[in-house]
A and B are shown apart, each in its own frame.
Chain A
Amino acid sequence: MNREARAIWAIARKDIRVWLRQPSAVAATLLPAIVLLGVLYIGAAAVGRNPVALVVQDDGPRAQQLMTQLEDSDAFVVKSFSTADEAEHALETLQVAAIITIPSEFDAAFDAHLPDPVSIRINNLNLDFTNDLRRSLPAAITSFYAGQPTNPIEVHVEETDLRQQDIELLQFDLVPDLVLLLTIAGAINAGLATAREWEDQTIKELLLAPIDRRSVVLGKFLAGWLTTLIVAAIVLSIGAISGYLRPSPSGWLPALVSVALLALASAGLGVAIGATARKFQRVAGLTIPLAFYLFFLSGGISVIAFLPQWVQTIAQFIPTFYGMHALQMVLFYDSTDDLLRDLAVLALTAAAMLLLGTASLRRRLNA
């Protein structure tokens, strides 16, 4: 190994060791992604099940069938009350979000083919909860009719799915979370490692060392990239063992290339920020919000089609959007849809970030 290669490796190894010895740096790398995962888990567990009070004033068979549909519905957590007053009290004290009342003449009206309203009184605090409830009662009525021996509804859904399998929400969210982790890990570690040289004033030693300045730049990139890859390897290993992130044999290569390119791009960004900011707190203050912006704007929290048109347009210009797309396709659907496009964008971004990082660091080193 020649002297420059040894110097590059020494700088990278030193940065990685310093990172491992600083719990705050490790925490800053891992915490945002772990917290987001926890938040998504809480969100996924709470999706769409609102507590409702159910008052059944008719003990006929139809009313009991509808009551069973409501109790079995995955949209409600039903709390039964014997009187309307008790249910009203539960609504006022926020024990429930709505009251559903099956009226006393429900069966009679149903059998006579007369209008047969089921009332729902909603605490319409915000449209998210309110619309869930507005959807859920008609959905239960639909199930009620489907269970009738003479179902009058003649229109039947003929569903075709685009993908071979459905993916659970939490599993689906793991990929954006992995991309966020790679962005933060690369940017913050490379950024802190670069800024540290100025904070600790060790930049003097580096500049006075008998090595080429390109070796300093390359050493910094290598450290940021390897640190990020270590984090990615741990996450991917856990994902593969648990089955949550396990591509087909042919999907491993594009998955690893996507991860490597994302890690390289974020390390380049980190070096650029570190050389410009030169202070720990500035680096942390800049990179974490930046990573979250990239995450949200590339549709990390959702399926991109559900976002407003202007966000969808912006997402086309965010490289992490292509990283998420490539990883979701190969990890979940064994698909190569737009894979070349995605990898090309990631490679170009990595090259651009390396150039940006090199320019920023060389400018500082030569200043």
Chain B
Amino acid sequence: MLYDLRVIRAVAIKDIRSALTERLFSSISIIVPLNFLLLFLLFVLTGGQAPTAIVMDDSGAYAQQFVSAMQGAHSFIIQQTTADEAQRLMAQGRIVAIVTVPADFDSALRDGRQVELPVLVNNLNVDYTNDIRRAVPLAITSFYAQAFPDQVVVQAMEDDVHSHDTDYIQYLSVSIVVISLLIGGLLQAGVSAAREYEAGTIKELLLAPASRWALEVGKLLGALALSVVSAAVVLGVVVLVLGVTPLYWSEVLGFTLLVMLTFIALGLLAGTLVRRRTSVIPLSIGISLPVFFISGAFGPVQWGTPALAVISQLQPVYYAIAVFQHAFHGFQTTPFSLSTNALVLAGFTVVIVLASATALRTRAMP
């Protein structure tokens, strides 16, 4: 037992020292997870609201009320401009629609006449264009509901489950922490395992009078120690820079450790199977991105397609995102309880470590 502990310690220290000799790669393995955080935040910044210019040829009360209805439609980022300025902004690609409130808007409505509302759309693609095509009539109905409440009587009355709205960046940044831990774990552990094969040192390790378990645990702990830095950096950015304060700090710390262990074990498995460091990097990124997207990073997967919901439950990132969303926001994002999610995650860790140890044994054979 004591001998095994010494082996574990020696393997872990050896891996840490080996990694530190490659300073550029060590820096990259810290920077890459942080990169993912920043890149996905750029992804999130893509607003769902259409930048739109309103040209007011009428400044009457109804015209003003109509602009208010557009602002309340959750669909536009509005700026009031002149017709020339609007055309200039459109030519520069800074807006995607121009809505012109005609000069007779108020008088026509008072007289019960029809009003044609000119809307110029930069129909670059169907998705954004249809948003505008839906949102303008929506704003018109909302305007009528306010201006002519006896004519448009049907209105939406909202009631929310949670006491306050959570900004998309606040929500998604928590999911991004998980992908950063995934990338960090895969890179550190994968490279550490592959290095043994590339340098031929795997022979020495396997010929040593040490159990495969001790070797496996040693490599796991070595990669864990190295991954702590990138995990701390990513968590630091999310908490201190983005201002996403966890609801339950103890859960954040405990689940970070559990999730890191899972992903590091996955990295060891990948590195043992691939055996080349050059393959580990694209593989890590290649695996992480699609897994992240199907794991409920943007919201509960149950709200998507049923097939995707089933597939996502077969891998650990789904449960990792669930426990982190609970730790930070107190949200339930899977149909399972928090303890069930944590137990499944722990189960995945055990299975992956077993698979990794088995791979070490089988891949060592000629």
Residues of chain A having any CB pair with chain B under 8 Å: 24-25, 27-28, 31-32, 35-36, 38-39, 42-47, 50-51, 66, 75, 91, 93-97, 109-110, 113-132, 134-135, 137-139, 141-142, 144-146, 152-163, 165-169, 171-172, 192, 277, 279-282, 284-286, 288-289, 292-293, 296-297, 301-308, 311-312, 328
Contact = CB atoms under 8 A, between A and B. Distances in A.
Nearest to A77: B303
B46 interface: yes
A166 B129 contact: yes
Contact of A122 (B75, B123, B133, B160): B160
A312 B45 CA distance: 11
Contact of B39 (A75, A110, A292): A292
B154 A162 contact: no
A157 B153 contact: no
Contacts, number: 315
Contacts of B31: 289
Interface string B261-283: 00000000000000011110111
Nearest to B129: A166
A250 B49 CA distance: 35
A37 B90 CA distance: 29
Q: Which 10 pairs between the two chains have the least Cβ-Cβ distance?
A: A126-B171, A172-B125, A285-B28, A152-B151, A117-B157, A28-B282, A169-B127, A302-B46, A142-B141, A24-B279
B156 interface: yes
B2 interface: no
Nearest to B125: A172
Given A120-B157, A160-B120, 8 more contacts: A44-B127, A110-B154, A124-B162, A135-B73, A138-B156, A157-B140, A159-B133, A284-B278
Interface stretch (B209-217, B241-249, B327-335, B341-349): B327-335
A91 B161 contact: yes
B236 interface: no
18 contacts: A42-B293, A94-B303, A114-B153, A120-B156, A122-B161, A124-B166, A125-B166, A128-B298, A131-B74, A138-B138, A139-B134, A142-B141, A155-B66, A166-B126, A172-B126, A281-B191, A284-B281, A296-B43
Interface residues of B, number: 107
B137 A139 contact: yes
Interface in B133-190: 133-138, 140-144, 148-162, 165-168, 170-172
B85 interface: no
B187 to A, nearest CB: 9
Contact of A135 (B66, B75, B149, B276): B75
A167 B124 contact: yes
Contacts of A162: 90, 120-123
B93 interface: yes
B295 to A, nearest CB: 11
Contact of A305 (B93, B160, B166, B289): B93
A134 B158 contact: yes
Interface stretch (B8-16, B110-118, B219-227, B357-365): B110-118
A126 B289 contact: no
A116 B75 CA distance: 24
Contacts of A132: 48
Contact of A126 (B25, B168, B334): B168
A306 B305 CA distance: 27
B153 A115 contact: yes
Contact of B161 (A25, A124, A153): A124
Contacts of B90: 162
Contacts of B118: 158, 160
B164 to A, nearest CB: 8
Nearest to B31: A289
A307 B137 contact: no
Given A39-B290, A118-B154, A94 B300 contact: yes
A284 B90 CA distance: 39
B19 to A, nearest CB: 12
Contact of A156 (B116, B158, B276): B116
Contacts of B47: 306-308
A157 B138 CA distance: 11
Contact of A153 (B121, B126, B141): B141
A75 B332 CA distance: 24
A310 to B, nearest CB: 9
B294 interface: yes
Nearest to B160: A124
Contact of A163 (B122, B156, B159): B122
Nearest to B108: A154
A89 to B, nearest CB: 11
A99 to B, nearest CB: 9
Contacts of A97: 299-300, 303
Contacts of B286: 27, 31-32, 35
A116 B126 CA distance: 33
B35 interface: yes
Nearest to B281: A284
B159 A282 contact: no
B40 to A, nearest CB: 9
A110 B150 CA distance: 10
A92 to B, nearest CB: 9
Contact of B42 (A123, A146, A296): A296
B282 A32 contact: yes
B39 A39 contact: no
Nearest to A144: B154
B95 interface: yes
Contacts of B315: none
A220 B138 CA distance: 58
Contacts of B129: 161, 166
Given A166-B125, A306-B128, A155 B117 contact: yes
Given A27-B286, A154-B115, A288 B281 contact: yes
Interface centre among A38, A96, A113, A134 (most CB of B within 10 A): A134
Nearest to A162: B122
Given A39-B289, A162-B123, A163-B123, A116 B153 contact: yes
